[in-house]
Amino acid sequence: MSQQIKNKGWMVTFSGMGINLALGILYTWSIFKGAIKQSIEAGGEGAFNWNLASLNDPYAVCCIVFAFAMILAGKCQDKFGPRITAFMGGLLVSIGFIWISTTTSYAAWIFGFGVLAGTGIGFGYSAATPPALKWFPPAKTGLIAGLVVSGFGLASVYIAPLSQFLLGIWGLQKAMLFFGIAFLAVVCGLSMMLVNPPVGYKPVAESAGRVGATASLPQKDAGPSEMMKAPTFYIIWFIYFIGAGAGLMVIGSVAGMAKQSMGEMAFLAVAIMAIGNAGGRIIAGILSDKIGRRATLAIMLTFQMLLMLAAIPMVGATHSNAVLLVILATLIGFNYGTNLSLFPSLTKDNWGLKNFGTNYGIVFTAWGVGGFVMGRLSQMLQASSNSYTSSFITAAVLLAIGAVLALTLKSEKKEEAGEKYQGTPLMAQGPSR
């Protein structure tokens, strides 16, 4: 492949990563939730007046709307290209945040943060990964998917301290206005850099010989209806539900967990966890290219289960150790992040790239349902018992089931290749918008 084409592929990859660096504000919800809770407890004119058991609702709704919007966004991406799709996403997120900056209404936050921002995040996120994958060979699927989605996980590294700073000087609603305007500039601007390869382009092996222990190509590109007839789809969907739900349960509440031992510095737990979240996406992507998606997934789910059990005495302690809590949160974030690179790769491996946007949108509904169910359940259990123990036990049991199911997935086929990495006109890859 020429140097120009290779550079174009990396430009698309890092533009997608940049878009996700903005959209990953979703993972900073625990900081916004803390500000809303303080407002409820303080009371007075202009204060939030929500039920404490409903604090996670905008986040939970955002998760499920984000996921189901991915189906429509995937169709849009497959038909009109990533540029238009990501631009629409930036507009919707911006409108949602600007709206909630004007109100304390529970219903308005559900619609503004949950529905509008959730839909916009779905459109932006959906458009970021497919074009990047199309520029690279199968042996790099895990790496490229991991890099693009790492932006989403890494976002809290800067958004968490920035949010804490803005909350301190401006308050919650003006901070939301700032983010709304910033999204419009960043996401819509970077969307112009997202392009598919030329029609007919298809990358092949980077070097002679085997292209990686698990690089695989599907026998044919499958459409959504064909994909949903396969038993493998339902196994993958349920495992994703478990892995994502368990991670989102902790991510949505980590600032609250850290508040007792870290006080106003609790936002650091969110920021540091984001490093683990992003690192998990990249490392799992690379590892799965080497040892296979199935093995990587089983290892990560088992590790996550052990971390959930370890969290019970640590979070429940009267005086939690701040350092250990941050380490725990980082490792949980790392394992959660692995899901976001493994499942796009699994979708591509099993059903190809032609309908990848739509297919992964359908698979991704598992992420939203998992986040909604586990996020809502966790808040209810915590509000009723003032403890996270039940949530962690439930998550650990589900993760154990997921690890067993992961072992039932078919092992990837090993591919041989004898050509240098280059573009060859073997198959149309969709519009080049």
Q: What DSSP line would sit under 196-234, residue for residue?
A: PPPTT--B--SSSEE--TT----SSPPPHHHHTTSHHHH
> Could you say which DSSP state residue 104 is in?
-
* b/e code 145-161 from CB counts within 10 Å (16+ = b): bbbbbbbbbbbbbebbb
Q: Which residues of the chain have pLDDT under 70?
A: 1-6, 204-220, 251-267, 315-320, 411-433
User: pLDDT at position 411, please?
Assistant: 59
126, amino acid identity? S
User: pLDDT at position 415, please?
Assistant: 42
Q: Is the dihedral of CA 69, 74, 79, 85 positive or negative?
A: positive
User: pLDDT at position 213, please?
Assistant: 43
User: pLDDT at position 201, please?
Assistant: 79
Are residues 100 and 156 in contact, defined by beta-carbon separation less than 8 angstroms? no
User: pLDDT at position 275, please?
Assistant: 85
Count the residues in the chain.
433
What is the CATH architecture of 3-43+50-411?
Up-down Bundle (1.20)
